[in-house]
Structure 1
Amino acid sequence: MRDKGFGRADWRRFLESIGENPDRPGLQETPARVAKAWGAWSAGYAQDPAEVLKVFEDGAEQYNELIVVKNIPVYSHCEHHLAPFFGKATVGYLPAGKIVGLSKLTRLVDCFARRLQVQERMTTQIAEALMEHLAPKAVGVVVSCRHLCMESRGIRAIGEETITSAMLGELQPNLALRTEFLALARST
């Protein structure tokens, strides 16, 4: 079955193009499995960040401190090589009368991670979507990932991590708030 992207026939041709025999027993089901896997890995294109973020006005009226969720798993694919990159994200915000369900921050990260990406853009997209749909006083996002395009080819820099951040709203000019967010992001 093919709806979007590469279907079984395309992956079969891919196997042939790298010199494999798609009819050998170990590869007969591979085209279908790969097509299904890419359907999951690219599911973020079908997600709307506005629908992912359920906003609550009850519970945050008097809350004026940072809300931070750490160690959010990130699994994505580099748009340059289609190689996986993976790691963790920390997402925090300073509410302005509204909050989101904590699991929605994980869903927001996943929404953007399940697209072909560069880590820098993904980090900014997460921060901007939270700022747009929640309208908090501040948003901070830190993403730390290992990139298999660097580890398995080219420079072969095994174990290196790339760290990106986005600070919006009051986190930009307010050094004390920014320091607090980054300390929370680093804490264990």
Structure 2
Amino acid sequence: MKLIPRTFFKPAAAAVLGLCMGAQAQAGSWDLCPGHDQPASAEPDAPRYEAFFSPYTHHWTPDSEHEQVYAVSVSRLLPNNRYCGFSLFNNSFGQPSAYAFVGKSWPGFWQAQPQLYVSVSAGIIYGYVGQYKNKVPLNVGGFSPVLIPAIGYRLSPKSTLEIQLLGTAAVMFGTTWRF
């Protein structure tokens, strides 16, 4: 996995600021994670954060330019199965990238398998620049809107296996840990 260069952090901070401004326009508040002062659960020891790690991404159409994608993220768990967070990853072309997002989960959506859940996150991605700027839609200066649906299986109250659908490009496999 490549180290993230120092020059990457200014654009990443700009992406977070852009998402905050969008949240401010929607909710009249500068808070990226509205409701952060409320616990995600009434239980005093309930997890408040979730970390995600993906060691593997499968591209639907392999390309000789594709590199392996690694991703890590941290999410703040909010009431009503909502969350918000930030992810760092190297994109399919080896460029350092970031994703600032908000999302919602629907646990136990299928009665026969209560451990299954679906979720969707939406936000701003940064990182597809230079010759790869047209690899994601609506890219302006390296910033693009993103919507990522996922399905997961809860192994325990603190851990899951998850599959995220990355549009028509790929599917990402990962695991989460709540703390």
The alignment's TM-score, normalised by the length of structure 2, stands at 0.31
Q: More strand by proportion, 1 or 2?
A: 2
Structure ID, larger Rg:
1
